Chains A and B, each alone.
Chain A
Amino acid sequence: MPTRRRALLILAALAGLAQLSIVLALMVGSIAINPTEVLATLFGKGDGMAGDVVRSLRLPRALTGFACGGLLALAGALLQVLLRNPLADPYVLGISGGAGIGALLAIVLGLGVAGINGLAFAGALAAMLLVFGLAHGEGGWTQSRLLLTGVIVAAGCGAVVTLLLALAPDDQLRGMLFWLMGDLSQSGDPQLVLILLVIVLLIALPFARELNLLARGADIAQALGVAVRPLRRGVYLVASLATAAAVTHAGAIGFIGLIVPHLVRLAAGNDQRLLLPASVLAGGSLLVIADTLARTLLAPQQLPVGVLTALIGVPVFLFLLSRAAPGRY
């Protein structure tokens, strides 16, 4: 268990990493912009083309990426505790599947960005309510019932998504695939997701120590003074909304929600008081870095960012896993 001081040090280091990743994202691209210019534009003094590129293109995209990465990592950490399953990720309960149906439907119908986002969010909410309603049988839900219901609803959504892909005209297929793999190029105004990220984190943090107990089992938590029922519902709701918001803005970016909480856990332990904010910072940074690579590696060709998150995440994870002290994991 980290002391409060050590937790703050780790968070400060991660906050530095987050800033670095964003500055890097602002510098790199088809027009290279040096750090002094980036700083100048950020504080409102830059003008000309560099200023335009940074302010209207790269900054919104980097901030959206950071917020979405943070939301996904936070949702993953919360669901791993809720389901007491280290393999849980934000998509395991079918939320991304529901959003996927909504988004693809909007693309098929030829709606614009607002329409895609709107239908994706509606789909995510519908999947969330469906799983919550179905899993809530007699005597409340158990982890396995919730997990099974979520997995089945996700599988059903996956089938509908495949159906939509099969029926869609060829010229729309590429857009659909990019949405499914995760894509930040259409992200728009970052304000909403950033505010949501802050709200979700502020809601979750006061309950962090109770989540530590919930991770050890519902009965054990209840016996130690946690009001388990409202806590579990709250966690489900918050994690679902965080996932829905991220998926709506950036598509179903894989891997961040699964791997970032594990990275933090391997490096700093499983105390949610540190794990939750650290996952937000690490998840946000990872997605910003991945997105920067996605749009520069094969420029002018843009790669789906979901591929990059996996390509970065897998080796880092394997390295940390092999480095972990013998006897752990």
Chain B
Amino acid sequence: MVPGLLSTHALSVGVADRSFCHDLALTVQPGECLAILGRNGAGKSTLLSVLAGLRPPAAGAVLLDGASYERLGARASARIRGWLPQSRSEAFSSTVLETALVGRHPHLARWDWESEKDARIARQALAAVGLAELAARDVQTLSGGEQQRLSIATLLAQAPRLYLLDEPLAHLDLNHQMATLELFAALARDEGAACVMVLHEPGLAARFCTHALLLFGDGTTQQGTCDEVISSDSLSRLYGYPLREVGEHGQRWFMPA
């Protein structure tokens, strides 16, 4: 069996006495995009940070390319998976370009300084999210949406194979929401990367992702391809609000009934 770029075995995740998922077996192959859907507080971000190796699971194992985070070590892990935080705050001032360059850290040896090549990669990443012109700006002066795009650029500069995205659309206006999803879908489709993203809009998940995982918040989960899992019935149960499916041009949207 192919181990998958990301796989979990008998994974249980919880906080204090709450369980978010139990005995979860998840496999994400290169080229796939997995959407994690669920209500507020259902454990989407907690699960994602467990998948990113940032916090230990309650039970079970998370494997990157078939190896555990402990075996890989922090540096080798960082060359395989990247993680987009839900929010970040900068305590010190630095420029936009410097911040994007931080993504090159796992590719540099201990005494290396960022080379011309690293700077070029960081500039390309900034251009990909439309921040090329702000390269010299101080990060503390950016708007919320610009900061979010800078986080994405830092992640692109890191150039991992697995992208773990915690609410990648937070603070973004409509055109940047679509550009961001198209960017990551294209990375999966064309370059064999894989994405796991926490989303709040099931229509966008159905459109841009290949697979979906629903977290019901009581420890039960449902997973499969988007076509199997995302339906008005399952979403109505997931969000606790009746939803109606509307289809147009082969796209599916879910409206509050």
- Out of A215, A226, A327, name the residue touching B74 (CB < 8 Å): A226
Interface residue B176 (Cβ < 8 Å from any Cβ of A): no
Q: Quick check: B105 and A209 within 8 Å, CB to CB?
A: yes
* CB proximity of A255 to chain B, nearest CB, Å: 20
* CB proximity of B217 to chain A, nearest CB, Å: 22
Smallest Cβ-Cβ distance to A83: which chain B residue: B91
Interface residue B49 (Cβ < 8 Å from any Cβ of A): yes
Q: Quick check: B92 and A223 within 8 Å, CB to CB?
A: no
Q: Quick check: A224 and B105 within 8 Å, CB to CB?
A: yes
Interface residue A145 (Cβ < 8 Å from any Cβ of B): no
Interface residue B78 (Cβ < 8 Å from any Cβ of A): yes
Q: Quick check: B102 and A224 within 8 Å, CB to CB?
A: yes
Interface residue B220 (Cβ < 8 Å from any Cβ of A): no
Smallest Cβ-Cβ distance to A229: which chain B residue: B74
When distances are taken between beta carbons in the complex, the residues of chain B under 8 Å from A226 are: 74, 105
Interface residue B52 (Cβ < 8 Å from any Cβ of A): yes
Chain B interface residue count, CB cutoff 8 Å, equals 41
* CB proximity of A227 to chain B, nearest CB, Å: 5
Q: Quick check: B110 and A270 within 8 Å, CB to CB?
A: no
C-alpha spacing A56/B52, complex, angstroms: 59
Interface residue B54 (Cβ < 8 Å from any Cβ of A): yes
Q: Quick check: B92 and A270 within 8 Å, CB to CB?
A: yes
Q: Quick check: A223 and B78 within 8 Å, CB to CB?
A: yes
Q: Quick check: B106 and A224 within 8 Å, CB to CB?
A: yes
Interface residue A220 (Cβ < 8 Å from any Cβ of B): yes
Interfacial residues of chain B within 89-148, with CB under 8 A of chain A in the complex = 89-95, 97-99, 101-103, 105-106, 108, 110-111, 113-114, 137-138, 140-141
When distances are taken between beta carbons in the complex, the residues of chain B under 8 Å from A213 are: 102, 105
Interface residue B75 (Cβ < 8 Å from any Cβ of A): yes
* CB proximity of B79 to chain A, nearest CB, Å: 7
| Contact A217-B88, Cβ < 8 Å, known A222-B54, A327-B141 | yes
When distances are taken between beta carbons in the complex, the residues of chain A under 8 Å from B110 are: 206, 209
Q: Quick check: A270 and B102 within 8 Å, CB to CB?
A: no
Q: Quick check: B113 and A225 within 8 Å, CB to CB?
A: no
C-alpha spacing A222/B56, complex, angstroms: 13
Question: By DSSP majority rule, is chain A's interface helix, strand, loop, or mixed?
Answer: loop
- Out of A86, A224, A269, A327, name the residue touching B103 (CB < 8 Å): A224
C-alpha spacing A223/B52, complex, angstroms: 7
Q: Quick check: B98 and A1 within 8 Å, CB to CB?
A: yes
- Considering residues B75, B90, B110, B113, which has the most beta carbons from chain A within 10 angstroms of its beta carbon? B113
Interface residue A328 (Cβ < 8 Å from any Cβ of B): yes
C-alpha spacing A4/B79, complex, angstroms: 24
Q: Quick check: A225 and B105 within 8 Å, CB to CB?
A: yes
Return the CB mask of A191-213 against B: 1 if under 8 Å, else 0. 00000000000000010011011
Interface residue B20 (Cβ < 8 Å from any Cβ of A): no
C-alpha spacing A226/B75, complex, angstroms: 7
When distances are taken between beta carbons in the complex, the residues of chain B under 8 Å from A270 are: 92-94
Interfacial residues of chain B within 27-78, with CB under 8 A of chain A in the complex = 49, 52-54, 73-78
| Contact A225-B54, Cβ < 8 Å, known A206-B110, A216-B88, A217-B88 | no
Q: Quick check: A219 and B113 within 8 Å, CB to CB?
A: no
When distances are taken between beta carbons in the complex, the residues of chain A under 8 Å from B90 are: 216
Interface residue B83 (Cβ < 8 Å from any Cβ of A): yes
| Contact A225-B75, Cβ < 8 Å, known A1-B114, A220-B85, A328-B138 | yes
Q: Quick check: A327 and B137 within 8 Å, CB to CB?
A: yes
Return the CB mask of A286-323 against B: 1 if under 8 Å, else 0. 00000000000000000000000000000000000000
Residues of B within 8 A of A (CB): 49, 52-54, 73-79, 81-83, 85, 88-95, 97-99, 101-103, 105-106, 108, 110-111, 113-114, 137-138, 140-141, 158
Residues of A within 8 A of B (CB): 1, 3-4, 84-86, 206, 209-210, 212-213, 215-217, 219-220, 222-228, 265, 269-271, 273, 327-329
